[in-house]
A = this chain, B = another copy of it.
């Protein structure tokens, strides 16, 4: 916990020192390995996570097909857990760690109380809702307007920026899942992007050029 305390104090300072101290007191820290499923579709949620470091990816599943929705970066949270917790409804999304990740877990039992007593606490929620809502809108617009080559290229650039790695280690199958399409299609489109010199494929890795 110790190494994160100061980070939390500064980054969440807009909540007011009293609330921050209470959060520090009541919350627990969870260390999660890469590729761990944190939230399952239809699951009920008992804690609200705030990512401290690492990366979580969130996607939706519907009739076998998946689609990547967005990433939860450090100091962000998952809005599905808000609504799932405040309305006690099951999650509609799936969350998986993309990297080794550290999460601060706020107990739901305290949330209602904090919402009541610390009006600033709501600001956190509204902020996060806003981020995700915007992100979903962006996803929708890309789905409607962009062909797969553009979507794939944007996807790779995003991935590069988020993970700060340039030859990206990922299989075609994995990409296909995250973009809601088939493996062969990704192979084909990647080849096309390679011809256009936008990417370069190495063994098990893809290098992106911007």
Q: Which residues of A contact B (CB under 8 A)?
A: 60, 62-63, 65, 67, 69, 79-80, 82-83, 86-87, 89, 92-93, 115-116, 119, 122-123, 125-127, 129-130, 132-134, 136-137, 139-141, 143-145, 180
Specify how many copies of this chain sit in the oligomer.
2
Contacts of A92 in B (CB 8 A): 134, 137
A144/B145 contact (C-beta < 8 A), A79-B129, A87-B130 known = no
Closest chain B residue, CB of each to CB of A86? B126
Q: Contact between A140 and B60 (Cβ–Cβ < 8 Å)?
A: yes
The docked-state distance in angstroms from the alpha carbon of A65 to that of B137 is: 13
Contacts of A119 in B (CB 8 A): 115-116, 119
Q: Contact between A62 and B145 (Cβ–Cβ < 8 Å)?
A: yes
Q: Contact between B137 and A139 (Cβ–Cβ < 8 Å)?
A: no
**Nearest 4 pairs of A and B residues by beta carbon:** A83-B130, A62-B141, A116-B119, A136-B136
Q: Contact between B65 and A144 (Cβ–Cβ < 8 Å)?
A: yes
A126/B67 contact (C-beta < 8 A), A136-B136, A144-B180, A145-B62 known = no
Give the Cβ gap from A99 to chain B, nearest Cβ, in Å: 25
Contacts of A60 in B (CB 8 A): 137, 140-141
Other-chain contact of A129, B67, B83, B145 (Cβ < 8 Å)? B83
Q: Contact between B93 and A137 (Cβ–Cβ < 8 Å)?
A: yes
Most buried by B among A93, A119, A145: A119
Other-chain contact of A63, B89, B136, B145 (Cβ < 8 Å)? B145
